[in-house]
Structure 1
Amino acid sequence: MKKILFTLAMMLTFALLLVGCGSSDASSGSSSDSSAEETKEITIGYFPNINHVPAMVAKSEGYYEDRLGDNIKIKYQTFPDGASFMDALKTGEIEAGLVGPGPAMNNYTNGADVKIIAAGSTGGTVVLARDGSGIETVEDIASKTFITPRVGCTHDVQFETYMKELGITSKRINGTMIHQTGKPATYQAMFETGKVDVAVAPEPWASVLQQKTGAKVIIPADEVSFGKTLPASVLVTSGSLIEENPELIQNIVDAHKDATDFINENPEEAKAIAINDIKEITNQELSKEVIDGSWENIGFTYEVDEEAIQAFGDSSYDLEFLKEKPDFEDLIDTQFID
Structure 2
Amino acid sequence: MPASPILARLALLPLLGVLAGCAGAASADSGPLGPARELRLGLFANVTHATPLVGLAQGFYARELGTTRLRYQVFNAGPAAVEAIFAGAVDAAYTGPNPAVNAYVRSHGEAVRIIAGAASGGASLVVRPGIDRPEQLRGARIATPQLGGTQDVALRAWLAEHGLRTTITGGGDVRIYPTANATTLRLFQQGRIDAAWVPEPWASRLELEAGAKVLVDERDLWPDRRFVTTNLIVSTRFLRQHPQTVDALLRGHVAATAWIRQHPEQAKRVVNAQLGALGGKPLAPAVLDRAWSRIEVTDDPLAVTLAVSARHAYAAGLLSQADLRGIYELRPLNAVLRARGQPPVDDAGLGDRTRRPAPIPSHPAGRSA
TM-score where L is the length of structure 1: 0.84
How far did 1:190 drift? 0.8
Listed one character per residue, the Cα deviations across residues 293-312 of structure 1 (whole Å, up to 9, x for unaligned) are 01121111011222211121
Preserved CA contact (<8 Å) 1:95 1:238 = yes
Cα offset, 1:223, TM superposition: 2.3
Residue 95 of structure 2 corresponds to: 99
- The CA deviation string for residues 30-63 of structure 1, in whole angstroms up to 9 with x for no partner, is xxxxxxxx99221211000011110010101111
Task: Give the secondary structure class of the aligned counterpart of 2:50.
Answer: helix
**In the alignment, what sits opposite 1:281?**
278
Show the counterpart of 2:6: none
Name structure 1 gaps, 5 residues minimum.
Answer: 1-37
Specify which of 98, 115, 127 is matched with residue 113 of structure 2.
115
Distance 1:256 1:244 in 2: 20
Which of 194, 218, 222 in structure 2 is aligned with 1:221? 218
CA 1:190–1:146: 2 relative to 1, 3 Å:
same
Structure 2 unaligned spans of 5+? 1-34, 335-369
Match of 1:251 among 248, 272, 277: 248
Q: Deviations over 1:130-183 (max 9, x none)?
A: 24xx41222211220100011121001111111211111224487310011111
- Paired residues of 1:45 and 1:76 also in contact (CA < 8 A): yes
In structure 1, how many angstroms separate the alpha carbons of the residues matched to 2:185 and 2:223? 25
Single out whichever of 85-94 and 196-205 deviates more from structure 2: 85-94
Give the one of 21, 29, 37 matched to 1:40.
37
2:314 counterpart of 1:330: no
Matched, 1:307 2:304: yes
TM-score (norm 2): 0.77
- After superposition, residues 142-181 of structure 1 pair within 5 angstroms as 142-172=138-168, 175-181=172-178
Alignment correspondent of 1:141: 137
Counterpart residue number, 2:185 = 188
- Judge conservation of contact 1:260–1:300 (CA < 8 Å) in 2: yes
Query: Sequence identity of aligned pairs in percent?
Result: 27
Structure 1 residues 274 and 215 mapped into 2: Cα distance closer, same or farther (>3 Å)?
A: same
SS at match of 1:222: helix
**Distance in 1 (alpha carbons) for counterparts of 2:101 and 2:142:** 23
After superposition, the C-alpha distances for 1:39-95 in whole angstroms (9 at most, x for unaligned) are: 9221211000011110010101111111111x2111121111222211211222212
Which residue in 2 is equivalent to 1:80?
A: 76
Kindly provide the amino acid, as one letter, of the partner of residue 206 in structure 2: L
- 1:62 partner letter: G
Give yes or no for contact 2:219–2:226 (8 Å, CA) kept in 1.
no
* Partners of 1:138 and 1:219 within 8 A in 2: no
Say which SS state the counterpart of residue 45 (structure 1) adopts.
strand
Asked if the contact 1:68/1:252 (under 8 Å) is kept, the reply is yes
Q: Whole-Å Cα distance in 2 between the matches of residues 265 and 163 of structure 1?
A: 38
Residues 53, 274 of structure 1: 8 Å contact kept: yes
Structure 1 residues 227, 116: closer, same or farther in 2, change over 3 A?
farther
Give SS of 1:223's match.
Answer: helix
CA contact (8 A) 2:118 2:230 kept: yes
Q: Is residue 128–residue 213 contact of structure 2 (8 Å, CA) maintained in 1?
A: yes
Aligned partners of 2:93, 2:167: CA distance in 1, in Å? 33
User: Greater Rg, structure 1 or structure 2?
Assistant: 1
> CA offset at residue 265 of structure 1?
0.7
Partners of 1:190 and 1:39 lie apart in 2 by 43
SS, match of residue 131 in structure 2: coil
